[in-house]
Structure formats: structure tokens, C-alpha cells
Amino acid sequence: MLAQVEKISVERKVVRAACPHDCPDTCAMKITVENGIAVKVEGAKDHPFTAGTLCTKVARYLERTYSKDRVLFPQKRVGAKGRGEIERISWDEALDTIA
């Protein structure tokens, strides 16, 4: 007798996006999203200038977006420069500091 396999519902869709980088190409992208998480980034083949090609920065966008090393909150140095001592600060404090 085979074990029962539970079917998992996957909501999959492809959405169009524009590259967020400030270069003159303004590449069009197609992002495949599964259950709210981007799983694939590709160039839109109907884009007249790039014809579906993405630069290496954008082609690896998912790796950076979902990296465990990605900084998600503002931080400030608390120790001597170069020692890597930082602490998390609020968005208000970060904005006040840079303003």
C-alpha cells in the first residue's frame, strides 16, 4: 500500500516589472511568483531595447533579495571604526541622523 500524499496548493503567477536600477536601458522584467515569493526573474522578450536580456546585477536579484546577509533594518556603529560593532536603531533615528 502506498502512503497518502497530500496535495499542496501553489498559487503561481507571472508579473511584469521594471528594473529598479537607474541606467538608460530601463529593462522590462517578468517575475514568477509562487505563494507570494519571487522564484524567477527574467527579461521580457518584448522589450524593444534589451529583447529579454538582463544585466548580471539584475539576473541575480533573487539571491540578494532573499540573502540571509541582507540588511533589513537601520543600524549604526557603536564601537571604533573597523571593529564591526553595530546596533539596530529605529527608522526615525536613522532619518534624523542622515538629515
* pTM metric for this prediction: 0.65
- Mean pLDDT, the chain, rounded, equals 88
Q: Which residues of the chain have pLDDT under 50?
A: none
Cell of 98: 542622515
Cell of 38: 519571487
- CATH of region 12-65: 2.20.25.90
Q: Give residue 67's identity as a one-letter amino acid code.
A: S
Q: What pLDDT score does 2 carry?
A: 67
Domain spans in the chain, listed from the N-terminal domain onward: 12-65, 71-99
- The torsion region of residue 67 among left (phi > 0), alpha (psi -120 to 50) and beta comes to beta
Inter-CA distances, 37 with 66, 88, 98, Å = 10, 26, 32
Residue range 5-23, pLDDT digits in tens: 776 777 899 999 988 888 8
Q: What stretches of the chain adopt beta strand conformation (E)?
A: 12-18, 28-34, 37-43, 75-77, 86-88
